[in-house]
Amino acid sequence: MRILILGGDGYLGWPTAMHLSQRGHEVAVVDNMARRGYDNELGAESLVPIASLQERVAIWEAITGHRIQSFFGDICDYTFFEPVVKNFRPEAIVHYGEQRAAPYSMIDRRHAVYTQVNNVVGNLNVLYAMADHVPDCHLVKLGTMGEYGTPNIDIEEGYITITHKGRTDTLPYPKQPGSFYHLSKVHDSHNIMFCCRIWGLRATDLNQGVVYGVDTDEIKLDERLRTRFDYDGVFGTVLNRFLVQAVAGIPLTVYGKGGQTRGFLDIRDTLACVDLAIQNPAAAGEFRVFNQFTEQFSVLDLAKAVQEAGRELGMNVELNHMPNPRVEKEDHYYNAANTRLLDLGLQPHYLSETLLESVIGVVQQHRGNIKQHLIMPSVNWRETGSTAVQEEAAPAAD
């Protein structure tokens, strides 16, 4: 198949490009390097050094003989993006090409506006390009479990059947997002659903949990093919932050009591889920939703898992409970359905089996790159601005 990957330079985009290329697909990636620009803005960088996209593409072709095409530009710029779709004519589009950090969207007004304009407008351009040039193309869109929030009922996969005043209907599951970033994903979902209904497009929304891991089969071919590893207080995931703190001898920063519970999955399972969605496309006019995670953990669960793994390696890992900079429930019910990808054949990797030994080893290898001042949270949900980035410093151009 011809597959176009948006955000192909990113943490998930690059491994996905290699994964699909290795399986014989004709792969092209689109990226405007905005993610690297955010690092420049924040004074941060990946713990694991990453080569440029051009270098990684060249290394991949030299090792495997498979070519990955690259298009450098902004999907918010339709004069750039429309010809890419028109000429490449993808049969599937994998859409990672958005600003993906909740803290970044909550820095101040400027970052909130940027996040929503970048994400919503870019996604709309994708939908229009599909409708005008490749109406049978299948959109595989990266959503987030954060769209749902933490309701006091089970979270279904995209839809819920309700009975109200004697009448029954199946409706989109109610959304309670927790940041301007998560709100942008909700807007995306509504726009995709609308375009499937009116234009007959086909789309799969992958509401993904928090991804962890650094190794895939393709990355293991050569260290120069590595993807990024974020641990800072803006783009770093909670698990990455804990692992870096454990190696650096810093107490793990548990927000509040640590009862916040979310879904998690191994990066290899992300690639498998995208592959399964592409192999089993949505029908014309169908907007389907898969909840993409394999396990559920609280923040405190993760901290204790890292603490125990550290002890086994001779580390003295301490926990430090601190005020939560986010506005979120700490004690809440959380039970989300995730059966649709399992039904398609997903074979999950579990945290207890693979993560701690492999990822801690990579963190130890690059411990000299740790910038301790970047780890602590610098964005507060309760404030309209932050000292993390001064108001006069505009977000990286996109």
Decide if 170 is catalytic: no
Tokens of 54: 């051009």
> In this structure, how many other beta carbons lie within 10 angstroms of the beta carbon of residue 192?
24
Q: What sections of the chain are H helices per DSSP?
A: 13-22, 34-42, 53-64, 78-88, 102-105, 109-133, 180-199, 238-248, 267-279, 299-312, 340-343, 351-365
Mutual angle of helices 53-64 and 13-22, in 10-degree steps: 20
307 is written with which tokens? 């603490």
Residues contacting 278, CB < 8 A, separation 6+: 1, 3, 20, 92, 94, 138, 140
Tell me which amino acid residue 325 is: P
Any catalytic annotation for residue 253?
no
Active-site residue, from 144, 216, 227, 294:
144
Catalytic residue among 181, 212, 231, 334: 181
Burial (0-12, 13-18, 19+ Cβ within 10 Å), 146:
buried
Q: State the angle between helix axes of 13-22 and 267-279 in degrees (0 to 180), rounded to the nearest 10.
A: 50
Question: How far is it, in rounded angstroms, from Cα 155 to Cα 147?
Answer: 11
- Options 38, 104, 141, 185, the catalytic residue: 185
Distance CA 154, CA 333 (A): 8
Q: What are 30's strand-pairing partners?
A: 6, 71
In sequence order, the β-bridge partners of residue 320 are 253
| Residues present in the chain in total | 398
Residue 181 catalytic?
A: yes
Tell which residue, 206, 221, 180, has the closest CA to residue 65.
Answer: 221
Give the Cα separation of 328 and 380 in Å (integer): 12
Q: Which residues are catalytic?
A: 144, 181, 185
